[in-house]
A = this chain, B = another copy of it.
Amino acid sequence: MSDARPDIVTAAVLVIGDEILSGRTKDRNIGYIAEYCTAIGIDLREVRVVSDDEGAIVEALDALRHKYSYVFTTGGIGPTHDDITADCVAKAFGVPLDIHPDVVAILKERLAKMGGELNEARLRMARIPRGAALVPNKVSGAPGFWTGNVITMAGIPTVMQAMLDEVAPKLKTGAKLMSETIRADAKEGDVGSELGAIAKAHPEAIIGSYPFFDDKLGPNTNIVVRARDAAKLAAAKSAVEAMLAQVRAKIAAG
């Protein structure tokens, strides 16, 4: 898979937060964004999780934004001292952070309804890298933002999901990677070489093999065939099915 193909759009996810690295909070955003990207035709190529550390965040932002079509960040955009994602995005892009009047208006409106004052802490959430577009947050008000090819979202899963829904219609997308799962009813070690030969003969299909334990049959395998082209997907799937029939017959024959 070459990134130079115009029909391929790539992405990375950057999860920001000490609480994920300490194990206190279990991330639920990576899998969600991964499935979402696959569904809309974006190839998620890499994920990084870093701590609430400016150097680490800026370094990861710079590594990822130059390499992939999009970078989705989650976490670190709340009102406290450890929420430094906006500062880091601004630093990576070399732009100042401005108090964004639209965000101030959103926060004021929400506080009028929910109670609370627009203090210094909450005003942190109005600090937006200059030139960024806001990403609406229908769940809790304070928006994310879209700077260059970096989309900065909240860490709370429900808020992140709402933000992703806002952003998705505006993303460039590529040819979708379609997939078929074939249950092998054979052990992974019994189909490995055969599967490798099929993968070589079908270079435009991506063939993966995932062992699982079946309560009745014992060790079993799911074979996942993926391709951007329906005919190529069907051809690779047929090859896998023909191979499986042979392997099963051989095993049955002892």
Contact = CB atoms under 8 A, between A and B. Distances in A.
A224 B19 contact: yes
Interface stretch (A31-39, A92-100, A167-175): A31-39
Contacts of A18: 206, 208
A209 B80 CA distance: 7
Interface residues of A, number: 69
B31 A23 contact: yes
B19 A37 contact: no
A5 interface: no
Contacts of A37: 23
A88 to B, nearest CB: 15
B30 A190 contact: no
Looking at chain A's contact residues, is the secondary structure mostly helix, strand, loop, or mixed? mixed
A137 B234 CA distance: 37
Interface in A130-164: 140, 156
A116 B50 contact: no
Nearest to A198: B81
A49 B51 contact: no
Contact of A80 (B24, B25, B80, B188): B188
Contacts of A21: 34, 43-47
B31 A208 contact: no
A104 interface: no
Given A46-B49, A82-B199, A179-B24, A19 B189 contact: no
24 contacts: A15-B47, A19-B208, A19-B210, A21-B34, A21-B43, A22-B179, A22-B226, A23-B31, A23-B32, A23-B44, A24-B35, A24-B224, A26-B31, A46-B51, A48-B48, A80-B192, A81-B192, A81-B195, A81-B199, A82-B208, A82-B209, A121-B189, A121-B190, A140-B219
The 5 closest A-B pairs by CB, nearest first: A121-B192, A23-B35, A81-B196, A23-B34, A47-B49
